[in-house]
Structures are given as structure tokens and as C-alpha cells.
Structure 1
Amino acid sequence: MSDSWPRRRLLAILRGADEPLDAQELAKITGQHVTTVRFHLDVLTRESLVRQFQQPPRGRGRPRIGYSAVQRSVGYQDLAQVLADQLGADPRHRSEAAIAAGRAWGAKLDIGEHRVQSLEDAKDVTMMLMSELGFAPERDPSSETGDKVLIRLTACPLRELARTHSEVVCGVHLGLLEKVLARGGACDEMDVRLHPFVEPELCVARLELISAAREKTQGAATVPPGGDAEAFTTPSGRVAPQLRNADPNVAKQSAQQW
């Protein structure tokens, strides 16, 4: 696997795409120059991580070259179903077990020396970790305050699994993130949440100082701001009630307003 973050992001985007994408489309999505994108695609092709396809031209001209991620041969969807079944019938119990598994993973992960002494430190570590995992994270400066930051996860490499087994997939990633931040020194200071699918292709990681989070939620039930999914929260390990939203615009507004 290539250790270049731009290539990891391109690969994550291609894995989540429904059809091959060409270099121009990928450049528009990532904000990179098309020449840079073509360079990374050539590397990924040589590494047998993506495959090229000839596509019809737009108007006159030569056929376009589309790229698609090489699909893994392992049946991850079936594996996720088996794991979910083994974790019990109760979604809340499965979530708690998945979070515990993620924490165990985070305890063993080689993350180097990254001290978390402020909210800014926590944001940097989260960006680094999610980049390494292929989530193509993006900061959302417009939503940042002195006690809260949001990080947009734009290319989940396990998106399809998360759609059907969010309590397992998102629970593991949440436990992992919580443990990595705790190893840096933020165990009792940071409230960490993952909001899956606030938009069809977007999840959000929310980091908030615990003192501020308690003031906001004291005496009220915790619910996800939007989207047809649960909001996974730590450090207590609780899982918020599921909120089903019939209006897709509400999720988009929530993603902009958090």
C-alpha cells in the first residue's frame, strides 16, 4: 500500500465511487492539479491498486481514461455480518463491544509521540489518524469555537459496511480515536463523537472539551444533529438514541451548523 496521503485519499475516493472516475473529475474533487492527480494514479496503477478503463469522450476528442479501485477478494460485507451476529442481537451491546475493540486496537497502534494538551492538539492527531486510515479528513474552520472542532470525513474506506453495520464499523473507529487521544493525555478532557452519514457521502468527527459538552447536555438526552444514523459518543461509551430524519436537507443544514 502506498504511504502517500494524496494517494490514500484518491484510493479511498475510488473505492467509494459507483463508477470509474477520470483524472479531471478526481482533480475537481481533491483540489489538486490534474497533472499531480495523474502522477498519483500512475503510481496506484503500478501498485495494482487501481485499474484503468477507456471511457467515451465528452464531445469530440480522444476517449477518456477512467480509474476504478481494484476490489478486494475478501467478502468484507459477509464478514461484517458474521461479526455483528457474534456480538449479539442488541445494537447497543454491539456498539459497546465494537468501541471496546477499537480501544484495544488503539492501545496497540504505533502512533509515535503526539501529546494532546489542547483542543488544537486533539484536532491535529485526529486529522493524522483519519488520514492514515483513508478517511480523507477535512477541517471545518467555519464551525470551530474555543471548545469545539468538527472534522469532515469525506471518503470512508468502509462506507458500504458502515451503511448496514454502523454500530460495529463506527464503534470500532470511535474507540480507536478515543484511545489514541487518551494515550496522548486527553482521556478526561475530551468528548469525542462520530456522526455517520450526515450527508450520503459525509461523516463528521466532533471533538469538544468535556466541560463545555456537559453544560450543553445537562438534563437533556443526547441525539445526533441530523442524518439517518446513530451518534456514537465517548468517553462514557454511551450511544445516543437513533434519530430518523425524513428531510435530507436537515442533515445538510446540521453539518453546516454544528
Structure 2
Amino acid sequence: MAGSSQLDVLKTLGDNTRYAIYLELARAPRPLITAEIADSLSLHANTVRPHLERMRDVGLVDVEVGGRGDVGRPQHRYSLAADAPALGLEPPTISALARMVLSMAQRLDGSASDAEAVGHDEGARRAAMHVDSRSTLEALVSDLDRLGFDPVVTDDPRNDAVGDDVGAVISFGHCPFADLAREHPDLVCGLHKGMVAGFVDDLGDATIDEFCTLTNRTPCRVTVSSR
């Protein structure tokens, strides 16, 4: 981004749509075409294109041209520029490392319970960063949001039955590990389940009633109740 000032970059990312596009590209394990970005954000491709061009102009994204789309035009594949600001997001090499570690764990006959144990330790470590939060639910939602799961909180259906707020359901609007989870569902979902459990256990004022992953027939979510 040598030709762009820091102010240009900040102004570009100050737009909500462009920031959302930036996050999609940062989370993606490969370059994305315009249609994929548009679908992820529930936008029309014609809305996304000018934002991508603006981001390209200031050096935030790189574009590869190759292949043909549905209408015969060359496809443009977008990815974050090598010198784009990190904004706390992991570099692409982390995805490669994660893939290799998961393959190694599978070769060594690692189980879902092994993954949960590892995730539990990580969750407890992350909980230590939220000791000042007002509640475990608030802290967990904040941490899941920081990790890129786009959590959505709704009331537990049991609340109406007992006439009290006994719990909440946290649905995961986005899975930053989706590609890896499809390849290694037991290990990756086990890691996530263990991490949430370790987080909740460490803070101590809530319990997990249910954790649904992509191996379940229900959407990925966790149900948390206050103690």
C-alpha cells in the first residue's frame, strides 16, 4: 500500500460494507469471486463491485483474473493484499498450519474427546481475559464475536415454560473454521465445543446445556444457563 496514505485506508475501511468485505476476505482460505462475497453478505454483486474497486485502489486487496464466469466474462478473484493491515486477524499461513496440525492429529488417531480437552484448556485461558465482564453469557458472546463466529443470542425456549430467564441460545452466524470443520468435523467441532466449555467452566456462574455442531441436524449453536 505504498501509494496510499494511512488516512485513505482508514476512510476506506470506515464504510461498513467495505469493512464487512474485508473481514470476509481475511477469513477466507482462498481468493473469492465477487459472487461469493455478495452471497456471504446477502448483497447484490453489483453493490459489492464498486467497493472492491475502491479497496483495490488504496491497495487493500489484490485481484487475480482468470477463467470464465456464467456469462463468459473473465472471473476476478479477490484476496487481501500482502501488506494490508492485520486488524488483529490471523495471517493466511495460520490456515495452512491448522490444516497440517489437524491432519497430523488424525494420523495419530486423535479423537473428539482429545480435541475437547485441548479446546477446554484454550477456553479457560481465554476466559481469564474476561474476568471483568458482567456475566458469563456477555463474556462468551464477546469472545465468540472476537473469534469471528458472529454470535446471535436468542432466548432459550424453556424460558416461557418456567416463567423465568433460565438460559440463552447462542447461534453461530459464521464459522471461521468451516472449511476445516467439513474435512475434520470431529476434531474441529470438538475443539470448539471444548473451548466454549472451558470458557464457561472457568468463569463459573453458568453451565452448558447443549452444544450443536454441523454433525447434528440442528444449526451450530450452544445453549447456556445461569447457575
Task: Give the TM-score normalised by the residue count of structure 2.
Answer: 0.57
1:254 aligns to what? Answer: none
1:128 aligns to what? Answer: 142
1:66 aligns to what? Answer: 77
SS of equivalent to 1:100: helix
Query: Once superposed, what is the RMSD of the aligned Cα atoms?
Result: 4.6
The 5 Å alignment of 1:34-183 reads 34=47, 38=51, 42=55, 46=59, 51-54=62-65, 56=68, 59=71, 65-68=76-79, 71-72=92-93, 74-84=96-106, 89=109, 91=111, 93-108=113-128, 110-111=129-130, 113-116=132-135, 122=137, 124-139=138-153, 145=159, 146-182=165-201
Contact 1:95–1:168 (Cα < 8 Å) also in 2: yes
SS of equivalent to 1:206: strand
Letter in 2 for 1:125: A
1:196 aligns to what? Answer: 213
Deviation at 1:209, TM superposition (A): 2.0
Contact 1:12–1:134 (Cα < 8 Å) also in 2: no
Deviation at 1:13, TM superposition (A): 5.8
Contact 2:115–2:187 (Cα < 8 Å) also in 1: yes
Deviation at 1:207, TM superposition (A): 2.0
Change (3 A) 1:98 1:179: closer
What is the rounded CA distance, in whole Å, between the counterparts of 1:199 and 1:12 in structure 2? 28
What is the rounded CA distance, in whole Å, between the counterparts of 2:148 and 2:22 in structure 1? 6
CA offsets, 1:190-220, max 9 Å, x none? 22543221689x9522223267xxxxxxxxx
What is the rounded CA distance, in whole Å, between the counterparts of 2:115 and 2:134 in structure 1? 28
What is the rounded CA distance, in whole Å, between the counterparts of 2:22 and 2:150 in structure 1? 8
Specify every segment of 5 or more residues in structure 2 that has no aligned partner in the other structure, as ranges.
Answer: 1-9, 82-91, 160-164
Contact 1:153–1:205 (Cα < 8 Å) also in 2: yes
2:221 aligns to what? Answer: 205
Contact 1:7–1:41 (Cα < 8 Å) also in 2: no
SS of equivalent to 2:121: helix
Letter in 2 for 1:196: T
Deviation at 1:29, TM superposition (A): 2.8
1:21 aligns to what? Answer: 33
Task: Give the TM-score normalised by the residue count of structure 1.
Answer: 0.52
Task: Report the identity percentage.
Answer: 17
Change (3 A) 1:28 1:78: closer
What is the rounded CA distance, in whole Å, between the counterparts of 1:8 and 1:144 in structure 2? 38
Contact 1:7–1:40 (Cα < 8 Å) also in 2: no
Contact 2:151–2:173 (Cα < 8 Å) also in 1: yes
Deviation at 1:75, TM superposition (A): 4.0
